[in-house]
Homo-oligomer: A and B are copies of this chain.
Amino acid sequence: MTNPETRLRPPTVCQEHGAENEFVRGLLGRIGDKWSLMIIGALHEGPLRFSALQHMIGGISQRMLTLNLRQLERDGLITRTVYAEVPPRVEYELTDLGHGLLVPALAMVNWAADNAGRIRKYREVYDAEQAADG
């Protein structure tokens, strides 16, 4: 068994139990998910309805959008409001908690967008080296 004392500690937090760290890791996997980040980012300017989200994100299936929205709602990051209209309208909006995540999330999205070209180059070099001699 690994020694809990030497495990990674996020700077601002001192975890007392390994289980707590596992929860945080699971949380990271959830909010760090590409779809979650895109959804959070898409909602930064205000509420959007289901179809608008799907169209704006582009490339996400109906199923995945639904699943991700449910997760984000469960985690208290977004709210889901159903308007009794015909045709039905459902709007998703960031909560205060979701707004807090918006800052780091957009930082990630922007970083990815800013460095996409550079990373593509790195991959090409790496792959070329692998093909050359391994």
Chain A residues engaging chain B, CB cutoff 8 angstroms: 2-4, 6-15, 18, 20-29, 31-34, 37-38, 41-42, 44-45, 55-59, 73-76, 97, 100-101, 103-116, 118-123, 126-127
Contact = CB atoms under 8 A, between A and B. Distances in A.
Contacts of A123: 74-76
Oligomeric state, in copies: 2
Given A2-B55, A41-B10, A32 B108 contact: yes
A108 B58 contact: no
Interface of A, secondary structure class, is helix
B104 A23 contact: no
Given A12-B114, A33-B29, A116-B27, A122 B41 contact: no
